[in-house]
Amino acid sequence: MIREWNEESLDHRNALLYAMGVTEADAKRSVIGIVNSWNEMNPGHYAFKEVIQKIKDEIYNAGGYAVELPISGICDGMCSNTPGDRYTLPARDMVSSEVETVAELNGLEGMVMLGTCDKVVPGMIMGALRVNIPTVMMTGGFMAPGNIDGKMITLTHTKQAYASYIAGDISEEEYKQVVRNACPTPGACPFMGTANTMCATAEILGLSPHGNASVRCQSKEWNEMAKIVGKRIVELVKEEVKPRDIIKKENFENAVKYMMATGGSTNSILHIPAMARQADIEIIPEIFDDISRKIPVISTIYPNHPAYTMADFSMAGGLGAVMSELDKAGLVETSAKGMFGTLADKIALSDNKNTDVIHPVSSPIHEQGGLAVLSGNIATDSCIVKFSAVDKAVWKFRGPAKVYNSQDDAWNAILKDEIKAGDVVVIRYEGPKGSPGMPHMETFMAAVLGKGMGTKIALVSDGRFSGATGGLAIGHVSPEAYEGGNIAIIQDGDIIDIDIENRLLTVALTDKEIEDRKKNWKPVEKPSPGWLGLYKKNCTSAHRGATVYWNK
C-alpha cells in the first residue's frame, strides 16, 4: 500500500466503511477516490454523472475499490458581470485545497479526478501535485456550438448581442434568440477559452487519456474514456507511479507550446506557473515570452477565428494533430512521459485531417505564438495580450487614457457611448488584491465587440479576461493598482502607447512625473468579506500566478 496505516487506525476506518455496506474483503482493496466536481450549476461538468458507475466498475474489476468524493466545481459563466465573479480565481486555490483534503484525510491510494472548467482543472492538478499519489484525470469534453440561421454562436455571443440590443441595432427578440441557442448541450464552451486550454494542459501533462481534450461531451468516444481511466488508475496504484515521478519541466513547456500554437487562453499565464510551482518547477512569464517567440500559431478557432469551433478542431485531429505538426518541426519534447504513455506515443496515434484548421509549421497563421508578454512603465513586471485575437492593424496603438476604477463603471460608459474611437480604456483595481479576486473583464470587451469597436479602442487592465475575449485587450498588469503599480497613477488624457511586436506598454510620463503623482496616491479599498479577504491577504501577484500557494 502507498499509505502506511497502523492496525488501530485502519480498523477504525474500516468500522465506518462497514456501516455503509462495504464488506471486509472489499475494505482490504486499495481505496481509490473519484474526486468529482459534478453539480447542477455547471454544464461543463453536468455529464460526469453519466460515467461514474462505468469508472467504479472498471476500478472494481481491476482490483480496487472506488469511492466518490464530491468537491466544488464552479462555472465562471454563472457569475459573469456580478460580484460573484470575484470568487472564480480564488476558487482555483480552494479546489486544490479540497483535493488535498479529501486525499489526505481519507488516506486515498489513488485518485480519478473529474473536472472540465477554467479554475477546476488547474486547481485539481495543483492539489494532485501536492498530494502526489497515483492520479489520472478525465475532462468533460466540449459543448456543441450553437447555431442561428446557419451562423455559429457560443456563450460569448450573448454578451455581444446584449450590447447590440442596448444600442438599438437588434431587437429584444433577436437578442433573446441568441441567449436561447448559444449553449445547446453540456460540455465546455466550444471556443479556445480557458476550459479547453486547461483540458489540453491536463492531457499534455499526461494526466488524461489520449484525445480527451478534443472530444465531444457525451459522445461514444468520451464514454469509453471513463473505462480507460478506471482501468489505468488501478495499474498505476499497483505500480506506485505518482504524478511527480513523471511530470517534469518539459511537460509544462510542451503545454505552453501547445497554448502558443493554438492561441490559448491568457489565463494560462496564471494557471500553468501555479501548477508547476506545486512540483517545484519554475514556469514564469519570461518563459512564456521566450516560447512565444519560437512557436508559431498554427491553429485558430473562435475567438481567434470567426467560424471554427472545437467541433472543427476535433474533426481535424485535435490536440494530437497540433503536437504532431510541432514535432515535425522539432519544436516539442516527445520523450515527456505521462500516465498514459509518452508524447511520442500520443503523436503516433494522431493525424492532421484538415490543414485549413491545423496548419503545418511551414505555413503558419502567425510567425509567433498567440500570446505576448509585454512590459514598460505601466507594467514594470509584466502584462499579457492574446494578439492572435487582435487585428494586426492595431498591434500598434496610441491614444488618450480613459480611466475607470471598476469594470462596472467602464461597461456602463461603453453602453452610454461615453467611450470614443481612439481611447485607451484603463480599468484598474480589478487585480488579485484590488478587486479582490481578479475577475474577468470579458463583459466590457464583449460590449466593445458588440458595438463594432474591436479595432477602434484598446483596454489596459490589472484584471484578467475570459479565454474567449477578442479585441485589443491587455490584462494582468503587474504590479496591480492596489499594490502601487504605475497603472494606479494614470489620469484621463495621459497618452498610452501599445506596441505588441516590440512587447511594450508605456504611458507618456517621465519617471519624475510618476514619482510626484505617487506622493498623493492612496489605494481604493473594495469589500473583502470572508474567503476573499483571506485570499487578498495571502495571494501573490499576477506575475507569479495570483495564488496563495506560491510560497510553500
- Catalytic positions, please? 466
Question: Cβ(96)–Cβ(130) under 8 Å?
Answer: yes
Candidates 200, 83, 162; CA nearest to 440 is 83
Tell me the C-alpha distance between 542 and 65, whole Å: 41
Widest CA span of the chain, in angstroms? 75
Place of cell 496548419: 359
Tell me the C-alpha distance between 302 and 385, whole Å: 16
Residues found in the chain: 552
Question: Cβ(159)–Cβ(178) under 8 Å?
Answer: no
- Is residue 303 reached through a cis peptide bond, with omega within 30 degrees of 0 on the bond before it? yes
Tell me the C-alpha distance between 274 and 432, whole Å: 14
H helix runs in 106-167, sequence order: 120-131, 155-166
- Is residue 360 reached through a cis peptide bond, with omega within 30 degrees of 0 on the bond before it? no
Candidates 376, 390, 409; CA nearest to 487 is 376
Residues 6+ apart with CB under 8 A from 307: 152
User: What are the grid coordinates assigned to 291, written together?
Assistant: 516560447
User: What are the grid coordinates assigned to 124, written together?
Assistant: 485539481
Question: Cβ(500)–Cβ(390) under 8 Å?
Answer: yes
Question: Cβ(56)–Cβ(510) under 8 Å?
Answer: no
